[in-house]
Copies of this chain bind each other. A is one copy, B any other.
Amino acid sequence: MIASELRQDPATKEWVVIAPERSQRPQLAKRPRPDLHTFYSSQCPFCPGNESLTPSEVLRIGREAAAWQVRVVPNKFPALQPNTPPVSKNCFYRNAAGCGYHEVIIESPAHNLELADMPEEHIARILRAYRQRQTLMLEKDDVRSVVIFRNYGEHAGTSLLHPHSQLLATSIVPAYVQWKQEVAERHFEETGRNLYSDICEAEKWAGVRLIEEDREFTAFVPYAASVPYEMWIVPTALSPTFALASDDALADLAGALRRCLLRLRHCCGDVDYNYVIHSCAKGEEAENYYLWHLQIIPRLTEPAGFELGSHMYINPMRPEDCAQQLREAAITIAEPVGLSYELSA
């Protein structure tokens, strides 16, 4: 029998229970990919021809209106909006107007094309759209933090099938983002080194949690992964915010991200997941203690009362076992067939 182990995430100081003996191993249903031939849905607000169903677009990539490749629009049901009226202050509690920006990055004209199945050049185009919007957001006076994320599947919190990601720019810095920066800053003060670079070095040295590495990125299962098959993709170039990533880095990230998602599908089938691009808050861009990174969070397990009450996760799979499966996954990168939309450059 394999005994449980407590591991501390060096980036958050949260403890995780690695409990391989737990019965609650994820049910790997190996759900097949949905039918890839449904390229168009007349009901879908993100499909070509239905552009009037979304708020006015703020960015379009593609030669002409009728043949866009990526579109960015404000979220029709925004969590935050610019120019939100001030709220009445409360004598005891702290509050603020729900000011901010909530955008949707429509990743492709094709209705039913998962990110992992898109050509690498197209994924790079989406990443450049992220960067362009984040850069613009960081120029606004009322923005202090930008989180870019993708929800895939109902268990990951989305009801829309059409491939899309989201950007949320907030006027306050979320407490967790602030906390992660403080942890990294303390590491820098104590060691003179960047925490995330140190993590990458530790992973390359250990090897057992490594998924792949190249000049620009290291992909691995984190030491204190909170869920099975969690993955981090961390850049080599020191840059506290994704907005500062170079074109070369994004081209490389597109490949790494695509391969990581294909590895996940190889191991788990068409599983729901989220990914998040973590950047430092505005005003910290010049600092060298933080490093932006992309975190992939498969939604195979359900957090229960203990996790909600203690924020201490119980991961029923050893990160080393997940990493080995992901590393050894025989990923086949097939060009999507029968595409009715041209996604190449």
Contact = CB atoms under 8 A, between A and B. Distances in A.
Interface of A: 3-8, 10, 12-15, 17-19, 21-24, 76-81, 84-85, 87, 90-99, 145, 147, 149-151, 154-159, 166, 168, 170-172, 174-177, 198-199, 202, 206, 223-224, 274-278, 295, 297, 302-312, 314
Contact of A6 (B98, B151, B168, B305): B98
Instruction: Give the oligomeric copy count.
Output: 2
Given A278-B309, A302-B154, A19 B93 contact: no
A228 to B, nearest CB: 14
Given A15-B172, A202-B92, A166 B306 contact: yes
B172 A79 contact: no
22 contacts: A3-B85, A4-B79, A4-B81, A4-B97, A5-B97, A6-B95, A7-B94, A14-B174, A14-B176, A15-B174, A19-B79, A19-B98, A21-B78, A22-B79, A91-B202, A92-B198, A149-B308, A150-B305, A157-B302, A157-B307, A175-B312, A278-B309
A175 B311 contact: yes
A336 to B, nearest CB: 24
Contacts of A94: 7-8, 10
Nearest to A295: B309
